[in-house]
Chain A
Amino acid sequence: MKKLKTDPKGVLTGSHYLDGDYALAEGALAAGCRFFAGYPITPSTETAERFSERIPYVGGVFIQMEDELASIAALIGAVWGGQKVMTVTSGPGFSLMMENLGLACMQETPLVIANVQRGGPSTGLPTMTGQQDMMQAKYGSHGDYEIIALSPDSPQECFDLAIEAFNLSETYRVPTLIMTDECVGHMHEKVVIPEADKIEVVERKWYTGPKGEYLPYKLDDDGIPFLTKVGQGHRFHTTGLTRDERGYPDLNAERQKIVVTHLIEKIRGNADKIIKLEEDQIENADVVVVSYGITSRVAVRAVQQAREAGLKVGTMRLITVWPFPEKRIKELAPHVKAFVVPELNYGQIVREVERSAWGKTKVVSVPHCAGWVHDPADILQAIKEAAK
């Protein structure tokens, strides 16, 4: 590939006709990501390919690792080497990454993983869409932790949310996942990329204190510890074991409580700041359709038809899926007849809606076994039933 015309920061400023996979790569580059380690897997491979083409011109590293275990391990190492990092994968690779997703949470390394979801379980439907990894995104690694997960519904949003993912990940020192899917990944649309100076990029919260006194896990006033990188003379340590402020192993229940509470509360405690929703005609709605990613664009057709039929239907699109917007659902629950939750799985996020609704209203799942999007008629039917 020839050198593309970019601005000096390597941002592909301008209007482009891109698919979601490419837009993810462009978003990451615009966010300052200069390290990509990955392993090819359909339908996410185009992102890796785009990176491998673009990175030589902007100064960075692309490395195709031997597997996804290695890919995410390399990312964590590269964070301590001072880089902003990303990888991309799909179901089977996502499963392999679960091991070191836990390490990234424990070592509090900011990194971004995009999962271009396909149908599962196992090898499933490599070339066809799905949203079946939504619970795995939150609970896939062992132990208690929190991550952030975003769900774009278009190539433009793949670009925008890639930047957002880096920003959130740096702000909270937490792995951030972009849970997209084959449909969005392979869909082409216009993507408008702003000038580099107009893109808001959160820089790493670097430690600037005295040499040798760096404590990797001492909380700052905002509850998030500072980061450093290798080679600064701090001679610091970090581990996957339960650790104290110095990063030294400290294996007891008291320390465990401090660490786990911190890993969870730094996200839950900031949920209001993190969560982004897109709501439409929620006021006075009898039924609210809750969806995310490609499914929200399919549901919109059913919603339009339902409204034409005189039903009062609102929509809530989860741009942030994790942390889940339980407060908002709980707030709405007493005022609506039902939530309708279509998703390309057998019912995952619907459980979160159910939990958050606290039994105050009906929650209707519109499941799908993946492979293709819903027939809007099925969603319409569910809306009609729910509105009764």
Chain B
Amino acid sequence: MKEEDRLEEKNPIEGLLRMDRIPHIWCPGCGIGTVVTSFADALKKTDLDLDKVAVVSGIGCTGRVAGYIKLDSFHTTHGRAIPYATGLKLASPGTKVVVFSGDGDLTGIGGNHFIHAARRNMDLVVICVNNFNYAMTGGQVASTTPKTANASTAPYGNFEGAFSLPYLADAAGATYVARWTALHLRRVSKSIEEALNRKGFSFIEVITPCVTLYARRNRLGSGLNLLKYYYDKSEIRHGADTRDLEITFQGKLTVGKFIERERETFLDAMNSHLSHVLGDDYQLYGRCFDD
């Protein structure tokens, strides 16, 4: 290949990827890559010092994002990305910490951490790629699998109810909640940018096809079709009541920015409360840690 051709094919977000780890492990038609692109796009648009942005992932297909993003990045254990990120953020308040993981990781095994971080309004940007199943391990049923959908551990169809993640996040106290599909590239990017530019627990759910497992098992067609299908099935309703956001099998998807509210973050609350109660004796936290 000629040099100039190679340059043309250069990945548009190359500066933000660990090119020495590419090719990535994601299947053709998987939506995770497009969410990563939207994330990189958002990072470029913010004024943040990218040396001060960190990504924390758990385990699973989306859990691999931390491994490909060229920022300080942490690949942790299954379900524990949020508490790990909590420690990272609290120890280094000057760092913008992004949790990038999947639905199973964040709201199945990590569900308890998810609601508590939201309750505390921990200053984290949480990007959840929801593909309705456990993909890394072969398409098992998840806390997000819609009723009647088939999964390898629900071979006769899922009969459990599913979490509606924006509803869960809202109820637990998240201060920014949005949902998009992976094909809403610019909208996803815009939401991430908004989240990066604010303080508090921001939650962005991105509906993404798992072509290899969920789609094949449920005979939903191939990659681009499904991306397009979700996109076409979606209806943008900003500010929609989060109680009305349930996802049914192949039903319509309500997307948009649902919640944006102000509330003291954990650290701000800690500093303001303890300053109030203890007065000058309180050692204001964060002062000596930002370098």
The chain A residues found within 8 Å of chain B, CB to CB, are 3, 35, 37, 56-61, 63, 65-67, 69-71, 73-83, 85, 99-100, 102-103, 229-241, 248-249
Contacts and interface: CB of A to CB of B under 8 A. Distances in A.
Contacts of A239: 66-67, 74-75
Given A73-B84, A77-B83, A35 B90 contact: yes
Interface string B60-88: 00000011001111111101101111111
Given A59-B285, A77-B56, 13 more contacts: A57-B278, A57-B283, A70-B82, A70-B86, A74-B84, A74-B90, A76-B84, A77-B84, A78-B88, A80-B88, A81-B91, A100-B77, A235-B70
B228 interface: no
A292 to B, nearest CB: 31
A37 B282 CA distance: 19
Given A81-B95, A238-B74, A73 B87 contact: yes
A61 B289 CA distance: 12
B92 interface: yes
Interface centre among B72, B91, B281 (most CB of A within 10 A): B91
A71 to B, nearest CB: 8
B84 A236 contact: no
Contacts of B112: 66-67, 70
Interface residues of B, number: 48
Contacts, number: 162
A257 B159 CA distance: 45
B6 interface: no
B36 to A, nearest CB: 15
Contacts of B54: 230-231
Contact of A237 (B73, B85, B274): B73
Interface of B: 18, 20-21, 51-52, 54, 56, 66-67, 70-77, 79-80, 82-92, 94-95, 112-113, 116, 266, 270, 274, 278, 281-285, 287-289, 291
A174 to B, nearest CB: 18
Given A80-B88, A230-B95, A235 B76 contact: no
Interface centre among B71, B84, B278 (most CB of A within 10 A): B84
A74 B92 contact: no
B80 A70 contact: yes
Interface centre among A69, A85, A248 (most CB of B within 10 A): A69
B52 A231 contact: yes
B111 to A, nearest CB: 10
Nearest to A77: B87
9 contacts: A37-B83, A56-B283, A76-B76, A81-B95, A83-B91, A231-B92, A233-B51, A235-B70, A236-B73
Nearest to A62: B270
B291 A231 contact: yes
A76 B87 contact: yes
B186 to A, nearest CB: 26
Nearest to B277: A56
B90 A78 contact: yes
A248 B21 CA distance: 8
A327 to B, nearest CB: 35
